[in-house]
Amino acid sequence: MNKFLFDQMLDSYILDFDSNWENEEYKWIEVKRFQENFNINCKSSEFANMLKAAVDISSNLVAGQNYYPIAEMIKLTEKYPSDVQKAFGILFDEEKDLNERVSEYIDIIKNIKKKTGTESIRDGCDDRFISTMLYYKFPEECSIYKYREDKEFCEKFELGFNVKMGDSSNISLINDLTKSIVEYLIDENHEILNLYHKKLESNDYYHDESGLMLAQNIIWYAMKYEPTKKDDKTPIKQIKVKHGTLTQSHYKPAVLEKGKTTDYEKAQKEKAKIGLLGEEVVIQHENERLLKIGKKAELVSKTKGDGLGYDVLSYNDDGSKRYIEVKSTNSSERTTFYITATELAACKKYGEAYYIYRLYKENGEWQISYYQGKEVEALCNCPYQYAVAPENQK
């Protein structure tokens, strides 16, 4: 796996999580609908109507431009209900090998098609449709196979899964692929998992405890994601950079007559989003600046954790190290920002090699004011919260 590129994509997924969910939530709604309505043991005479109730025939999961296999399948079911019911019974029989089940299902459906005189391959025998029905039935075991998307995904992120057109094992392979994504998220204790399970608290959705539906959605998202090329030397839009002036360190608490309610979760998400965007801007800016000496800046808060007191390791023109803490706001340059005790300690440790890059918006564009060394240290003289350690009482 290209871990760096994969993690970049996951960072982007987090930033787009809410808007992406609004566009994709129908999948969890559809799976819940299928789970609540599908009954392989219903009367054959009722199988067609049951299938209509279980599957939204207009969904792009089972329909598209010139692609209407579920509509064709319902037509077959209306004519040969017991035969189609038998085919699905075999496909959903977990006691048999998956590849054998798929092969038997295809043979039955093709024989039914011969009775009707239709030979279209987009009629319920293709891998995409079969994998979609397995996805509906076993969402915590199976994923939807799409040749182009899955092949490009594996190649882009160097995942080592060899997707071959027409290979009968592709459905099993894609199931293994999505399971490997879930394993990676769990091993990394990734924030995406918390965001995902928070969404699933709603009763509108199928509660996918395995995370496999999430992994499937990550694959589809990744196909729209455009990573920053490592060797891209195209200059970014010129950012105005200046040596800022710090006026004073202050904090003026006030006890209000009437309290106020703050949505801390929403505020934290917005702060994190702005922070990530600011760090990305700084990395791009620094790498453009460093082209002349052939070095690259590193986002160490991502690779080494956020307890170093700085976010970016960069370099001065003479090749010496520059330690940069990024402070970002969507507001003006005058907006107050905070320096932590860890950041102050790093400032004292690295002296004039320590920089704070204050990112702010001017006419809708990012700008940078920077401060360094002693000028930062001199102003950090007014704490606004205190650590208190009570003694153990006997």
Q: What is the pLDDT of residue 262?
A: 47
Please enumerate in sequence order all residues whose Cβ is within 8 A of that of 347, keeping only pairs 6 or more positions apart, or say none: 309, 339, 354, 373, 376, 377, 380
Cβ atoms 188, 11 nearer than 8 A: no
pLDDT tens figures, 214-225 = 999 999 888 887
Domains and CATH numbers, the chain: 3-222 (no CATH), 241-256+267-377 (3.40.1350)
Among 45-54, 337-346, 360-369, name the one with the lowest average pLDDT: 360-369
Nearest one of 145, 129, 142 to 68, comparing CA atoms: 129
Report the distance separating Cα 92 and Cα 87, nearest Å: 9
Is the per-residue pLDDT at 144 higher than 80?
Answer: yes
pLDDT tens figures, 195-242 = 899 999 999 999 999 999 999 999 988 888 776 554 444 344 567 787
Mean of pLDDT values over 116-126: 67
Cβ atoms 279, 312 nearer than 8 A: yes
Is the per-residue pLDDT at 327 higher than 80?
Answer: yes
| Burial (Cβ within 10 Å: 0-12, 13-18, ≥19) of residue 382 | exposed
Hey, what long-range contacts does 142-145 have (CB within 8 A, 24 or more apart)? 142/171, 142/175, 142/212, 143/174, 143/175, 143/177, 143/178, 143/212, 143/215, 143/216, 144/61, 144/174, 144/216, 145/170, 145/171, 145/174
- Beta bridge partner(s), residue 243: 370
Is the per-residue pLDDT at 166 higher than 80?
Answer: no
Q: What is the pLDDT of residue 47?
A: 93
Q: What is the pLDDT of residue 349?
A: 93
Q: What is the pLDDT of residue 123?
A: 64
- Beta bridge partner(s), residue 328: 359
Q: Which of 84-98, 268-282, 350-364 has the highest mean pLDDT?
A: 84-98
User: Which has the higher per-residue pLDDT, 280 or 240?
Assistant: 280
User: In angstroms, how far apart are the furthest CA atoms of the chain?
Assistant: 88
Two tokens at 121?
A: 């391959």
| Burial (Cβ within 10 Å: 0-12, 13-18, ≥19) of residue 222 | buried
Q: What is the pLDDT of residue 247?
A: 60
User: Which has the higher per-residue pLDDT, 369 or 390?
Assistant: 369
Nearest one of 65, 186, 202, 62 to 132, comparing CA atoms: 62
Q: What is the pLDDT of residue 389?
A: 66
Which 3 state secondary structure label does DSSP give 312? strand
Mean of pLDDT values over 114-140: 81
359: left (phi over 0), alpha (psi -120 to 50) or beta: beta
Report the distance separating Cα 204 and Cα 190, nearest Å: 24
Q: 3 phi and psi, to 5 degrees?
A: -60, -40
User: Which has the higher per-residue pLDDT, 197 or 170?
Assistant: 197
User: Which has the higher per-residue pLDDT, 264 or 155?
Assistant: 155
Q: What is the pLDDT of residue 234?
A: 39
